[in-house]
Amino acid sequence: MSTNTERIPIPSDPEKLIDLGVKVYARHCVVGNKSPLLYLQSNSWEENGSEVNNALRLYELIKKESLSQEYLCKLDELIVKIRASILASYDLLLDIYSDPQELGFWGFVIDKSIYDKPSDKK
């Protein structure tokens, strides 16, 4: 049987991780005061939400220009914070929703192949 992390992979690629952070944070902002992510005790989006836009801008700059090691280190720091918020959000949302596919509304990519039943046709 598959675990939830196999069904809903968390990207390790910085660009995809930042993109997921943008989606989760945007959904959190849209839902507003009713967002379940307000209950995060640590790695909250109130702490790290602005870091998503900073990381996105910095990542785009680094792709266009060769920047110093200092900028790369700053991007790494931002990615660590974003990943922590994504993982905390993932855990909380899995506790709230009985159907893991609900996380798709928050920007997580659901591996549909896990849910497809193999056909018996030959």
25 Cβ contact partners less than 8 Å away, ≥ 6 residues apart: 45, 49, 52, 85
Cα separation, 45 vs 49, in Å, equals 4
DSSP 14: H
Give me the amino acid identity at 51: E
Q: Is the pTM of this model over 0.85?
A: no
pLDDT in tens, 88-117: 999 999 999 888 888 999 999 987 665 555
* Exposure letters 55-93 (e unless 16+ CB within 10 A, then b): bbebbeeeeeeeeeeeeeebbeebbebbbebbebbbebb
pLDDT in tens, 47-98: 999 999 999 999 988 888 877 788 889 999 999 999 999 999 999 999 998 8
